[in-house]
Structure 1
């Protein structure tokens, strides 16, 4: 089996059953920390940042787990049928079944929102599992994803979603664009963080580009008021855009992770 040949776990049951693809490398020592990588929307577990982190963690003796949400990469399912509830369920399954020992959640854009949802879910349901999370490193955090998306949509797109049930959003990363459904938006509103006074109970370190057009810097800064407990610290990159995958951006990312390791 090659280094990028995935393994699979089954999540859900009945009609909602799907196979989720993942890659996992063990830490050099059993007590060493590991990273759980949570990818961005329409990205996958072999993206530029994911591959860079795989190499970096291997060099530093850290574990690294990554996976594709349903409707992404090599996992089953259609993107236009998936919801945040599905991706949270899949993330929790990977966390419980695949990871072991202390973990650092590293989430990019949508993955940052999922990371926060996972921590909140674990603190509410299995506190002993939540205790394994040392902290979070969030890149361009699209917290409350569906509300952020809705606020950026033109009026005609909102009307299409409400009346037709979907709209095809143009994307700089995918020439075909991607479908936003009413089901996705409605489900996302079940997972809002704003005004919940959620206390993460551990450091939340943010890397944010000032030139990011997908997740405006004001949105990232607002996370300080959304999360209780004064845990959020933001590292701003003056010329950084959304991807933050340049060598100099990756060095900043590694430095944040090292603080939690």
Structure 2
């Protein structure tokens, strides 16, 4: 499907970010991965290969502390990873892009749309997790865990997708509060497609519905896939992601 062309750039904050920017014609697609994910995941590679087959520009990247980028995961926070994505998008793409964000990548995609709407021609989210540090993480902590987070600066929590526990830092929670999206107005002037599995135990359907109800825009759709889990990586789920992405790319072509 084409040899990888991984490049690196240094952000204004001094973080070295690994990315791949594939050339093509027409509007491009940007893929943003999730919490502790990287650009070698199933969804990222599937979208990469389909972009090559269709000759469309495509960008994927590893946030700092993820994959091939510099830094340690435990030192990072949502604001850092948002800044990483924004810097790479600004430097490596031209014109409006269709941003595809998975889980935490959906939160970052929405932050990108809010901060540089002229560069976002459409959004596709997969189990989007805006405000997850506050609403899906901190809310589940026990009183003891909250106390240790304050006194020790971090705690460990088991998860269903990695044999190693996640290290959750106080900085991650506090930084997340500076980037919350579901408390204030969230206007999306571009079309947005929110994809969600009903069997997702990490980001429940209620959270997807809350985002859908909260966001304001002329063309927003929430699509539920019965039985799909958080990975959203079955052939049918991947085909749905591609179909929605292609729809928004094709619509964007008529505007540019």
| Class of the TM-score when normalised by the shorter of the 2 chains | over 0.9
Other structure's SS at 1:136 match: strand
Q: Secondary structure at the match of 1:119?
A: helix
How far, CA to CA, are the matches of 1:205 and 1:152 in structure 2? 28
- Output the CA distance in 2 between the equivalents of 1:205 and 1:67: 21
Q: CA RMSD in A?
A: 1.4
Q: Which residue matches 2:119? A: 132
- Shifted more, 165-174 versus 150-159: the winner is 150-159
Quick one: distance in 2 between partners of 1:192 and 1:26?
34
Shift of 1:85: 1.4
3-state SS of 1:222 partner: helix
Runs of 4+ in 1 over 3 A off after TM superposition: none
1:202 to 164, 171, 190: 190
Question: 1:45 maps to what in 2?
Answer: 39
**Which whole-Å CA distance do the structure 2 matches of 1:69 and 1:174 have between them?**
18
- Work out whether 1:68 is the aligned partner of 2:62: yes
For 1:55-94, what aligned pairs fall within 5 Å after superposition?
55-94=49-88
Normalised TM-score (structure 1): 0.91
In the superposition, relative to structure 1, how do residues 4 and 154 fare at CA in structure 2: closer, same or farther (>3 Å)? farther
CA distance in 1, matches of 2:140, 2:54: 40
Corresponding residue number in structure 1 for 2:12: 12
Pair 1:24 & 2:21 matched: yes
Higher mean Cα deviation, 37-46 or 148-157?
148-157
TM-score, length-normalised on structure 2? 0.92
Q: CA deviation at 1:141?
A: 0.4
Alignment match of 1:176 (pick from 164, 174, 177): 164
Q: Match for residue 254 of structure 2? A: none
Tell me, in whole angstroms, the C-alpha distance in 2 between the residues paired with 1:57 and 1:221: 30
Q: CA shift at 1:5, angstroms?
A: 4.5
Does the 8 Å contact 2:129/2:203 carry over to 1? yes
Q: 1:109-258 alignment to 2 at 5 Å?
A: 109-122=103-116, 130-147=117-134, 148-229=136-217, 231-258=219-246
Q: What is the CA-CA distance between 1:108 and the residue it aligns to?
A: 0.1
Quote how far apart the aligned CAs of 1:132 are: 3.1
Residues 189, 218 of structure 2: 8 Å contact kept: no
Q: CA deviation at 1:33?
A: 1.4
- Name the structure 2 match of 1:126: none
| SS of the residue 2:178 aligns to | helix
Distance 1:209 1:115 in 2: 19
Structure 2 gap segments, 5+ residues each:
250-256
